[in-house]
Structure 1
Amino acid sequence: MDNPIGGIRRGWDQIVDGYSKLFRGQAKVHVTFDLDNWGWGGLPTVQYRKNKAEGKA
């Protein structure tokens, strides 16, 4: 993981430690996602491709 908040972290133990500090702290964290640009057809890309292959898209 490499980001401006958590720095460079290698391995799951370090990544979990970084996110634990963020989400278990006293700050309230709200996460939003822009669903307009999420995958295709309003679905995750993998699900969209599966539906398309099955003729459902």
Structure 2
Amino acid sequence: MESVAAELRRRGTKEFCVTWHPGPAGPENFYLGLGFRPNGEWSEEERVAVLELDGHP
């Protein structure tokens, strides 16, 4: 994930978005631990979260 974020920053991208199906065995805690924050949107039945890339190395 760090490599992808670094490449997105290199390309000038401002946000890194991910989606997941919520549930007890889902990856929500993994993404939250990396700094992704739910933005209140849903893509079909998947929660959308964003990692802001501005100002990060």
Q: Which TM bucket (shorter chain)?
A: under 0.3
Q: Which structure shows the higher helix fraction?
A: 1
Task: Please report the TM-score for the alignment, with normalisation by the length of structure 1.
Answer: 0.22
Task: Please report the TM-score for the alignment, with normalisation by the length of structure 2.
Answer: 0.22
| Larger radius of gyration between Structure 1 and Structure 2 | 1
